[in-house]
Amino acid sequence: MTVSALVPSSLTREAEDKREATRKLGYVARAATIFRVNRLIVYPDPGGETGRFDGGFVSTVLRYAATPPYLRTEAWGKRDELEYAGILPPLRATSQTGSESNGSGSSRQGIVTEVGPDHRVRVNCGLQHPISLNVPPEMAVEEGERVTVRISSRRPVRAKLVDEPLPGLSVERTDLQAALSREDAGVCIAASRFGDPLTVGRLETLAGRTERDGMTVAFGAPERGLPDILGIEASAIQASSSADGVEEPSAPEDGVEPTDHGFDLWLNTVPDQGSEVVRTEEALFATLASLSLRA
């Protein structure tokens, strides 16, 4: 099961300065980590960008936040976008912590610091010193490349390089429609105040499908929701009128047929909101918390 969260490149459009923009992105990364999002995708919204903190800034800060602390200096060095990276809250992602001496099979990100002879490399993976590892025959690695290290013991160190996706949160930049069209997109949900209110009954039937197929949830920007970004009228949104049969998406009677914009349904996860505006980072917490519940 894959969980993807989509946020626009205009995510920090209302931030007064770089410090506030960085803090906002830290909350987004925290929400994605807490609710075990696999992919955090920044999609383009050129019409909403202010020019100060564009998609490049947004994705750089989010990628830095998702990088394990022990790799940040080596992987990023000094960059203008990261001037206030020190205020980012720690993610403490469980998938980025290695096993203790009695642990087994945990995975960590590492970075190749040296490529040597005989298919061996030195890798910094957050242990006391870089470790020397064999490169599997099917892998080809270069100096500076991020790799996945499987650690079975830290005292003494027992580890191996594995040809697997990097553990932890992945941050990407891609088109909205491309993200919704991925084979592992699962249930595609547009989070919007104009969507169908999330109710106990709807969640009960939706939970089974998202747990089985995964989900992709898209969010809008401050004062610029998904209808504005997609260039459609809020009144034209045809949200799903019923989720009673969503377990079988191929059946036309399930009430969750994809819309013209690639979503299975438009969902209001903060019905009867008490504030005129729900910030994007707040919407992530509210939406992902609700959709992580299991029937």
252 is a domain residue: no
Q: Which two tokens stand for residue 6?
A: 């989509």
Q: 94: how many CB neighbours lie within 10 A of its CB?
A: 11
Q: Residues near 107 by Cβ (< 8 Å), separated by ≥ 6?
A: 95, 148, 149, 150, 151, 162, 164, 167
175 domain residue, yes or no: yes
**What SS3 string covers 176-227?**
HHHHHCCCCCCEEEEEEEEEEECCHHHHHHHHHHHHHHCEEEECCECCECHH
pTM over 0.75: yes
Torsion angle defined by CA atoms of residues 249, 213, 30 and 72, in that order, rounded to the nearest 10 degrees: -130
Calculate the alpha carbon distances from 266 to 147, 153, 168, 196, 216 in Å. Answer: 37, 46, 28, 6, 12
Q: Which of 110, 128, 162 is the last residue of a domain?
A: 162
CATH number at residue 151: 2.40.50.140
pLDDT digit string (tens) for the chain, length 295 residues: 899 999 999 999 999 999 999 999 999 999 999 999 999 999 999 899 887 899 999 999 999 999 999 999 999 999 999 999 999 999 988 754 444 434 456 889 999 999 999 899 999 999 889 999 999 999 999 999 999 999 988 888 999 999 999 998 999 999 999 999 999 999 999 999 999 999 999 998 899 999 999 999 999 998 899 999 999 988 888 544 343 334 444 333 343 444 557 899 999 999 989 988 899 999 999 999 999 988 6
- Whole-angstrom CA distances from 206 to 230, 291, 292 are 25, 8, 11
253 is a domain residue:
no
- Based on the domain organization, do 21 and 112 belong to the same domain? no
- Where a domain ends, among 162, 179, 199? 162
- CATH for 184: 3.40.1280.10
Smallest CA-to-CA distance from 84 within 31, 24, 7 is with 24
Residue 108 lies inside a defined structural domain of this protein: yes
Query: What are 117-124's contacts with CB under 8 Å, separation 24+?
Result: 121/161, 123/147, 123/149, 123/161, 124/70, 124/71, 124/74
Cβ proximity of 194 and 268 under 8 Å = yes
pLDDT the model gives residue 252: 35
Look up the domain containing 234 and give its range.
3-93+168-245+259-292
Q: Which of 132, 162, 192 is the last residue of a domain?
A: 162
| Whole-number pLDDT of residue 106 | 84
Burial class (CB within 10 angstroms; exposed 0-12, middle 13-18, buried 19+) of 253: exposed
- Regarding whether 18 and 71 lie in a shared domain, the answer is yes
Residues 147 and 57 in one domain: no
Query: Looking at the structure, do residues 283 and 139 belong to the same domain, yes or no?
Result: no
Q: Go through 152-163 and write b for each residue having 16 or more CB atoms within 10 A of its CB, e for each that does not.
A: eebeeeebebee
Say what the pLDDT of residue 100 is: 43
Count of structural domains, the chain = 2
| Within a domain: 254 | no
